[in-house]
Amino acid sequence: MGPHRNDPPGLDAEADDARQALVREILARGGLTDPAWRAAFEQVPRHLFVPYYYVHGVRGYERLRGEDPDPERRGRWLRGVYADEPLATRLRDGELVSSSSQPSLMALMLDALDVHDGHTVLEIGTGPGYNAALLSHRLGERAVTTVDLDPEITEPARRHLAAAGYRPTVVTGDGARGCPRHAPYDRIIATCTLPSVPQAWPEQCRPGACVLAPFATGLIALRVHATARGPCAEGRFLHTPAHFVPLRGALPLPAGLPRLRGLPRRAAGDDLFRFLLTLTAGVLDPHEALSLWEREGRPQRERYGVTVGRGGQWAWLDDPRGPYTWPIDGGG
């Protein structure tokens, strides 16, 4: 691929070096064990998807851009693009509405998605388009559909993808409703935090499909099964924490963390306890959650799971039909 027409002279070589350094960093942390995903991260140029992004400065957000005439600021932009960090790419009234996720977390999620040649994928949350490009590199652009609510996000994403040489299907619409026009899918991956799992997603999947999504500061991996009452999706959380921009659209925004007043400081500051509080927000009293958490040996995320069916959805500890289950009230 030739240089992007707006790239300053010499940027391609600098970007290539920075991209290979990022891949080495992810490899050193145990990621990108699949050679196909490693090749995608080595070859897809992230800088084409984030021509500018925002960082916290002394006076609030500061915008760094690749076309900055100041070489020092342009260098800061490029170093940030290929750092293993999330990038804020779109703000509205001071609030973050779109971002490019941390590359090592993207690598972990793509690996957990367990794609194979011939699979079709629906991505919820297009953002700047980088993740759709990685999927297109791995599976082919015809296999990838990506949806975002806002044309101010999808239109630039189309341009970024085209500049990088990829043309997957980019849809402006409510991701909570999926994209029935291109269903059924073998995989659905979301890059935004959910208040609940939309029932439309398993209904647009083939039996055996995987749905991977951020939920309650974690990542839930669900398998879709056909039942007499319709599609059911069930699975456990991955071990890693995950924090994403909330899904916007038909579903309500995720509930905030319950008040921590009166809880022991050691528990209130514990990431795994706060995960349980988020998972059971509005259902389980925080003090009850604390008793459960301590009684069960401070469970890791992998012991929790979620079940989604036509009759509703619930979270659970250890066993979906065991003693510890909680309804998920998210309008899914």
Whether 98 is a known active-site residue: answer yes
| Residues 241/275, Cβ–Cβ less than 8 Å | yes
User: Which residues have C-beta within 8 Å of that of residue 27, sequence separation ≥ 6?
Assistant: 38
Sign of the alpha-carbon torsion through 102, 19, 80, 123: negative
Amino acid, res. 180 = P
Using DSSP's 3-state secondary structure scheme, residue 121 falls into strand
Cα separation of 219 and 211, whole Å?
10
Using DSSP's 3-state secondary structure scheme, residue 320 falls into coil
Question: If 0-12 CB within 10 Å is exposed, 13-18 middle and 19+ buried, where does residue 203 land?
Answer: middle
| Residues 186/162, Cβ–Cβ less than 8 Å | no
Active-site residue (options: 98, 99, 136, 196): 98
Residues recognised as catalytic: 98
